[in-house]
Copies of this chain bind each other. A is one copy, B any other.
Amino acid sequence: MPKLDYDNQNNWLFKTGQMQSPVALESNKAEKIEKQATLKLNYSTNASYVHDNGQGIEIGLSGKAIIDNRFFSLQQFHIHAPSEHLLNNYRFDGEIHFVHQAKDGRTAVIAVFLKAGKTSKTFSQIFNHLNQDQNFVCDLTDLIPENKSYYHYLGSLTTPPLTENVEWYILANPVEISRQQLAEFHKLYPYNNRQLQSLNGRPVLYCSSTIKN
């Protein structure tokens, strides 16, 4: 084989940008993983701020998560509408991203789809504290489904700097907020979803859960 030119390393080609998010998920193409879904979330019930950060609505919340047997710290969560990921060609009404970081710098995002339906008390609390730096009770029980079956793939942040090296865990089961709550969000953002990116052959895994945690 031709030798790699170690004397001219600056000419080596760096291939990147092939692992971007969001993507279209298809349940019949996802590989079923036998092990049980292992998302153990232990989030605070007190949020510290709600900011319109120019990309969406971001809520300050701390907490711990065990994701695929490793410890992560919750950094914040934020809201996109409509959804960024597609599931079986369906675009949900919104998508919450819970952003976590591990000690080595790895980012893991747990995503929850939103669909129009009953009013979310937590969502109302969030909008009552918009652009305030003030603690408030933020009980996520109505914004995280009990069944945490998820789709998993490797991707990127969906806003600049679009950094790759992000582990995505997209819960299969949506939660509900009301049409009025959606309309409140859309007054701030007519839409804040990044366009779909190609999977470029990346595997998508599906991990089903019977655990409520």
Q: Which residues on A are within 8 Å of B, measured CB to CB? A: 1-4, 6, 9, 12-17, 19, 31, 33, 51-55, 68-70, 103-106, 152-154, 159-165, 167, 189, 191-195, 202-203, 205
Min CB–CB distance A187 → chain B (angstroms): 13
Contacts of A153 in B (CB 8 A): 104-105
**Chain B residue at smallest Cβ distance from A3:** B54
- CA–CA, A3 and B45, complex, Å: 29
Q: A4, B165: Cβ atoms under 8 Å? A: no
B103 near A31: Cβ-Cβ < 8 Å: yes
Cβ-defined contact, B15 with A103, below 8 A: no
Give complex CA distance A162, B12 in Å.
9
Asked whether A6 lies within 8 Å of B160 as measured between CB atoms, the reply is no
Alpha-carbon distance between A160 and B2 when the two chains are bound, in angstroms: 14
Asked, given contacts A154-B105, A205-B103, whether A54 binds B161 with beta carbons under 8 Å apart, the answer is no
Q: How many copies does the complex hold?
A: 2
Distance A70 CA – B153 CA, assembled complex (angstroms): 15
B103 A33 Cβ-Cβ under 8 A: yes
Interfacial chain B residues near A55, Cβ < 8 Å: 3-4
Q: Shortest beta-carbon distance, A30 to chain B, in Å? A: 11
The residues of B that contact A13 with a CB separation of less than 8 Å are 160-162
CB nearest neighbor in B for A152? B104
A152 to B106, CA, bound (A): 12
Asked, given contacts A6-B191, A70-B68, A192-B6, whether A105 binds B202 with beta carbons under 8 Å apart, the answer is yes
Cβ contact within 8 Å between A4 and B192: yes
Q: Give 14 new A-B contacts, CB below 8 A, not counting A13-B161, A69-B70.
A: A1-B53, A1-B54, A3-B54, A4-B55, A6-B189, A6-B194, A14-B160, A16-B16, A31-B103, A68-B70, A103-B205, A104-B152, A104-B205, A154-B165
Q: Which of B2, B15, B193 contacts A163 (CB 8 A)?
A: B15
Partner of A104 from the list B4, B54, B195, B203 (CB cut-off 8 Å) is B203
A162 CA to B52 CA, complexed, in Å: 37
Please give, as numbers and ranges, the residues of chain B lying within 8 Å of A70 by CB-CB distance. 68-70
